[in-house]
Amino acid sequence: MTDQNQSSLQQQPKSIRDQVALLSFLDNLIKEKNDPLIKPEQLQQVKAALLQELNEMINIQMVKSLSEADQRQLDAMFDRKANDEEIDDFFVKKIPNLSAEIASVLLDFRAAYLTPLNAPSGQTQQQNQNLPPSPSPPAPVPVDKVN
């Protein structure tokens, strides 16, 4: 990335920078998996779906890390339409190990994405290439609100 692009990115809100970082993470995962079933014209749609799923997993983990009282406080913030910066600050204050929690979600997501669904444990992706492709898993159910 050029210095000008980095400078421009640093001027963006933190939520935008976070999404750019997650997209970079997903780009690397897609390249690492090198799935022959993903056609170039499908790449943006695949990235968007993966980004949505990853964001949901992160949000669920963050909410689960809160006490019940903190969850009620978060609900109140959503009810009053708090901005992203306020919500980010809330999570930073309430979850002392927030970076570790997010890193854990990223590692779990990576493992789930890179592990073939129909491979017995220990079987490599190269060994699995001789098998017929497995059907796609069902689409995730949207979560409107996490308790």
What is the predicted pLDDT for the residue at 134?
Answer: 52
What is the predicted pLDDT for the residue at 49?
Answer: 95
What is the predicted pLDDT for the residue at 117?
Answer: 73
- The Cα–Cα gap between 43 and 32 comes to 14
Per-residue pLDDT of the chain (147 residues; tens, 9 = 90+): 455 555 565 666 777 888 899 999 999 999 999 998 889 999 999 999 999 999 999 999 999 999 999 999 999 999 999 998 899 999 999 999 999 999 999 999 999 999 977 655 554 544 445 555 555 555 555 555 444
What is the predicted pLDDT for the residue at 140?
Answer: 56
- The Cα–Cα gap between 41 and 102 comes to 30
Q: Which string of DSSP letters, residue by residue, matches 2-67?
A: -HHHHHHHHTS-HHHHHHHHHHHHHHHHHHHH--TTS-GGGHHHHHHHHHHHHHHHHHHHHHHTS-
| CA terminus-to-terminus distance, the chain | 40
What is the predicted pLDDT for the residue at 29?
Answer: 95
Question: pLDDT tens, 63-82?
Answer: 999 999 999 999 999 999 99
pTM: 0.69
